[in-house]
């Protein structure tokens, strides 16, 4: 069979592993952020938290995880529903378009996230 060039790692096991690992990182990050918010935080404390390198690294890790997680998930949805079998010949073009739009959105959020975290 032809290995898809648009899947994240071109291996089912790799994509599966990335999706699970990124899910754990995202859970840890959002639990931490949620816990911080529940405990009560003002602007100074929030600013101080995000000026520390470890928090920026943790946030960037979560952002990378979000992009990878979203790509694996969306790729599975696109290759299920936007296909020649489901939509005829237009399916292949639509799938490529959907993948391209998703990739651009994710890349934009990633770069924008770095700008926000490091205050560039």
Partner 1 sequence: MLQVSIYRYNPETDAEPYMQDVQVDTGGKDLMVLDVMELIKAEDATVVYRRSCREGVCGSDGVNMNGINGLACVTPLSKAVRKNKLVLRPLPGLPVIRDLVVDMSLFYAQYEKVQPYLQNHTPAPAIERLQTPEEREKLDGLYECILCACCSTACPSFWWNPERFIGPAGLLQAYRFLADTRDTATEERLARLDDPFSVFRCHGIQNCVNVCPKGLNPTRAIGHIRSMLLSRAT
40 — alpha (psi -120 to 50), left (phi > 0) or beta? left
For partner 1, the closer CB: 85 or 115: 85
Give the total of residues touching partner 1 (CB under 8 A): 18
For partner 1, the closer CB: 48 or 86: 86
Residue 107 binding partner 1, by CB under 8 A: no
What Å distances lie between residue 33 and 16, 21, 42, 64, 73, CA to CA? 26, 19, 13, 16, 24
Residue 79 binding partner 1, by CB under 8 A: yes
Rounded Cα distance, 109 and 42, in Å: 26
Residues in 22-61 that interact with partner 1 by CB under 8 A: none
What is the binding site for partner 1 (CB under 8 A)?
A: 1, 3-4, 7, 10-13, 15-17, 76, 79-81, 83, 85-86
């Amino acid at each position: 069979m032809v290995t898809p060039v648009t899947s994240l790692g071109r291996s089912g096991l790799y994509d599966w592993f990335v999706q699970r690992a990124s899910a754990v990182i995202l859970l840890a990050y959002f639990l931490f952020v949620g816990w911080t918010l529940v405990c009560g935080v003002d602007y100074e404390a929030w600013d101080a938290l995000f000026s520390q390198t470890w928090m920026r690294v943790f946030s960037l890790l979560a952002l990378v995880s979000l992009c990878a997680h979203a790509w694996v998930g969306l790729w599975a949805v696109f290759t299920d529903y936007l296909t020649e079998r489901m939509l005829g010949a237009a399916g292949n073009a639509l799938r490529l378009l959907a993948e391209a739009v998703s990739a651009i959105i994710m890349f934009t959020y990633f770069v924008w996230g770095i700008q926000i975290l490091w205050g560039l």
